[in-house]
Amino acid sequence: MIPEAAETLRLIFDAKSEGVPTNTILEKLNSEWPWKRPRGFGLSYLVKILHNRSLLGEFQPHILVNGKRKPDGDPISDYFPKIIKPEIFHAVQKTMAANSRSGGPTGKFCNVFRHLVRCAYCGSSMRYVDKGKSWIYFVCNFATNKKGCERHSIRYDEVEKLLLENCTQLKPEQVLPHPDEQSKKCERLQVEIEGIGAEISDTDEKIGNLVNQIETTANAKMRDRYEIRVQKLDEEKDSLGSRLDSKRLELASAAKGQKEFSKWQRDLGTMIKKIKDNPELRRKLNSHLKQFIKQILIYPVGDPKSEAHAGYLDAVADEANFPISDRKNLYRFILGIEKRANSREGRFIRVVFKTKTSKGQHHQVDLVPDGSLAFGMRLSEPNEPNERKGAWQFVSLDIDRLWANYRNGVKSCTT
């Protein structure tokens, strides 16, 4: 292959794996990158390139059936020179599939949590609504479309500030315009990990389809053929699992002790300033967040299923040893707090990460904004001067202040 063409193909896939829109890639392809076509590149041609498995070295034989080309047998591996790494190719396929289901990013890119935020009450996606004059918020799609969920909103800027300032897996240096070599390496490894994971999912799906064919096929020879393919795919899956473990170890080694907490905070502050009026950086931040966050569950009016407030307040009441004369007021106070915790005063967000516990459950953390009555966590300064990550601090109710406000007739509540 022509060296300039190979270089350009890698640039295309690298850009797409970082979340760059296809139209932006097309502009660079026709103006900046080394491979040129006499008539230029069109959007449909670029999309074909992004889906072309021959760049993995595969050749898919075809036959003509009623004048139409149809695949004939399995793809032949290593038939062509391999231009794109499989992990990068599959990471791009995953990104494009997500964009096609949602219509893809169009217009000005404002919501850095695109495709991540969901309503905690019904599971629907949350709609980003911009009414102007700084009135920007998330609202449940089902509620907006009157499909059964109640309409509750939460301010977008509050969610953005809360998550960005309390998520140590976020690496601002990978989002900033000129990341250093170590940051680029970490970002590339994370993309490759995503791609291998997508390839494993694809292999699982193929195995499932073949198992269904085995169960429904009466022809013994075809069953044998399917079983051989399943065995081969199982071997490929084991190999992918080993590659995934290796990449994760490499990433852990590359990321170990990169920067202390204060430097992380400074980088974060710089990133937040730069993304404000830069759609490309906001898009890159969105792509970065998707690398380690599975979903963000929004609780605009608290968690009605939780009994944490009742248990906590009862325990406080028992330990406080209030005089008998105050008991009636105390339990009115407790009921009032429980009610308010199921209003906007109890709002919080739950971040579900892609990493899993030893029991196979996804790690998650509840983040509590200022002024909320919810229980959760917040990042604080690290315990040791050279510690990169801050320490998690449990956020609970300021009972003394709330009780004083109640006794003084103050109805508004800040913790």
Question: Mind listing the pLDDT tens digit for each residue in 121-134?
Answer: 999 999 999 887 67
Please, which pLDDT band fits residue 364 given cuts at 50, 70 and 90? very high
Please state the domain extents for the chain: 1-104, 116-170+263-415, 172-257
Tell me the mean pLDDT in the region 145-153.
87
Is residue 282 within 8 Å of 112, Cβ to Cβ? yes
pTM of structure: 0.66
pLDDT given at position 175: 86
- Both tokens of 188, joined, read 């590339």
| Residue % of the chain over a pLDDT of 70 | 87
CA distance 172 to 183: 9
Question: Mind listing the pLDDT tens digit for each residue in 11-24?
Answer: 999 888 877 878 88
CATH 3.90.1750.20, domain 1-104, yes or no: yes
Question: Mind listing the pLDDT tens digit for each residue in 39-62?
Answer: 888 888 899 999 998 998 888 888
The more confident residue out of 75 and 362 is: 362
Tell me the mean pLDDT in the region 103-115.
73
Cα angle vertex 114, ends 108, 117, to 5°? Answer: 145
